[in-house]
Amino acid sequence: MAQLIDANLDRAREGLRVIEDWSRFGLNNKDFVIILKDCRQQLGQQHYEFYKRARSTSTDKGAGLKHPAQSNRSHPKEIVAANFARVQEALRVLEEFTRTTHPELSKISANIRYRIYDLEIDILKATNNKLRIEILNSCRLYLITRPHPQLLKTVSLALKAGVTMIQFRCKEGTDSENLGLAKEIASSCKSHNSLFIVNDRIDIAIASDADGIHLGQEDIPIEIARELIGPEKIIGLSTHSVKQIESAEKESCDYLGVGPIYKTPSKKNQKSLGIDFLKKVASQIRIPWFAIGGINKVNISEINRAGAKKIALINAIMSTKDPYTASKELLEKIK
């Protein structure tokens, strides 16, 4: 029995330390670290010497046993989730087996276990947000969809080619149809470690568990969108002037769309800003931003040289017969 308790105290404390170090070095969140350190110290104070003396790895038939799932944890969120499960399971074992022999440890284990349930949600949300921001910061090519007979196939090929952000524009069809498409695209994006953003429709973004929402100048205010979608999700905003860019940077949006740079069918009534405007604002914008509007494989290099390191486009991929090759060629031109 002492050997069992020792093993689960080790397991719980080790799992807590993994999560604590991620909170410290990965999330840079002092509040999480304080809670986790306190839990670890409480268990450490109950880890009596006679439990440790019962330890015997040579006679433990379970020592060194591994499962294939352990080798598949490539992302921090998977490692964090696995260690939360490890801690919770170990605490439950401690709670059950020390109820009469070491009631103080049983009570502490139960209290920490319930405390960890809520903390897991908060840390995983913070982890997801960090990973979303990392993908956003590294993204070079952002595909915005339009109605297409092979929409899902086109998006899938673009993702395979290396596109790391997809925006779903649900301008046609019923809400039910659009939600179904949104869920399928969201799943495809997740499997490629890419971001899925919904244009305008916060209800569909929430229902499909999208990574974020993209808003126009005439859509609901950023602060209301933030309340609805939550602090861990991404909000993008379209901007068409220096004044709008400056105003957007003061709000809680995560990235900007700047354009249209050239005339584009999707913004027929919007005046194009031109390459000179792009050169003027390229070094002044302080948050991630994407040049958008009429960009294709012919002019993308010019846009890139003007200072745009992130490009958003529609027809250059959506209108091609070979979305995979088109995406590859566009990515190769962005330096």
- 33-48 pLDDT tens trace: 999 999 999 999 999 9
Q: HSE of 265 in the Cβ direction (CA atoms, 13 Å)?
A: 5
Between CA 85 and CA 16 the distance in angstroms is 10
Homologous superfamily of 139-333: Aldolase class I (3.20.20.70)
> What mean pLDDT is predicted for residues 227-253?
94
State what percent of residues in the chain have pLDDT above 70. Answer: 93
Mark whether 61 is an active-site residue. Answer: no
The catalytically annotated residue of 113, 169, 201, 233 is: 169
Residue 108: its pLDDT value, please?
98
At 323, list the tokens. 């979305």
Residue 171 pLDDT class (50, 70, 90 cuts)? confident
The catalytically annotated residue of 267, 280, 309, 328 is: 267
Mean pLDDT, the chain, rounded, equals: 93
Between CA 70 and CA 216 the distance in angstroms is 43
Residue 203 pLDDT class (50, 70, 90 cuts)? very high
pLDDT at 71 over 60: no
Strand (E) positions, the chain?
Answer: 141-144, 165-168, 195-199, 212-215, 234-239, 255-258, 289-292, 311-313
Mark whether 279 is an active-site residue. Answer: no
The catalytically annotated residue of 23, 106, 156, 238 is: 238
Residue 173: its pLDDT value, please?
87
Mark whether 252 is an active-site residue. Answer: no
Residue 267 pLDDT class (50, 70, 90 cuts)? low
How many helices, marked H, and strands, marked E, lie in the chain? 14, 8
By three-state DSSP, how is residue 313 classified?
Answer: strand
> What mean pLDDT is predicted for residues 196-220?
96
> What mean pLDDT is predicted for residues 145-152?
95
Beta carbons of 15 and 87 less than 8 angstroms apart: yes
pTM greater than 0.95: no
Between CA 333 and CA 335 the distance in angstroms is 6
> What mean pLDDT is predicted for residues 203-222?
96
What is the DSSP code string of 205-226? HHHTT-SEEEE-TTSS-HHHHH
Beta carbons of 94 and 109 less than 8 angstroms apart: yes
Between CA 249 and CA 257 the distance in angstroms is 12
pLDDT at 314 over 60: yes
pLDDT at 195 over 90: yes
Residue 74: its pLDDT value, please?
65
265: cis peptide before it, omega within 30°?
no
State what percent of residues in the chain have pLDDT above 90. Answer: 88
Beta carbons of 121 and 88 less than 8 angstroms apart: no
Domain boundaries, the chain: 2-133, 139-333
